[in-house]
């Protein structure tokens, strides 16, 4: 049982580590894209071109920031749904475990009754 538990915990740990790596890559790509746009907007142009490029960069940053706000909001929804699913799973687990214990008690009571010494008529009537 201990080995099975460790196996599943290792799988979950691996999933979490992969998720963290993907999130890191995602953040890195977002930052690289911002850097790329920023570099293209600071190249030596005439004053008008620099202003237009700076405006493009600001618009890009504004759009990217809004997208990241949406991303964070949707990620939070996913995290809440995940937590609710975990809570429901744990609740079902505890309900099943309680039912299993009740069933075991019933079976144990029947077993003890089966192997209990017979009671004489006088003992059974309480006299």
Name the one residue in this structure whose structure tokens are 């953040």. Answer: 27
DSSP-assigned letter for residue 44: S
Dihedral sign of CA atoms 112, 114, 119, 121 in order: positive
pLDDT value at 38 more than 90: no
Instruction: Quick: pLDDT tens for 44-67.
Output: 667 787 788 888 888 989 999 999
* pTM of the shown model: 0.68
Give the confidence band of 37 by pLDDT, cuts at 50, 70, 90.
confident
């Amino acid at each position: 049982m201990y080995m099975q538990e460790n196996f599943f915990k290792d799988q979950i740990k691996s999933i979490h580590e992969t998720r963290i790596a993907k999130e890191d890559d995602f953040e890195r790509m977002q930052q690289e894209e911002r850097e790329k746009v920023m570099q293209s907007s600071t190249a030596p142009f005439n004053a008008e071109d620099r202003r237009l490029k700076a405006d493009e960069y600001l618009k890009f940053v504004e759009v990217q920031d809004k997208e990241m706000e949406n991303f964070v909001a949707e990620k939070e929804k996913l995290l809440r749904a995940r937590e609710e699913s975990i809570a429901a799973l744990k609740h079902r687990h505890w309900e099943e475990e309680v039912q299993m214990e009740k069933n075991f008690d019933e079976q144990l009571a029947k077993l003890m009754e089966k192997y209990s010494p017979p009671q004489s008529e006088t003992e059974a009537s309480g006299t």
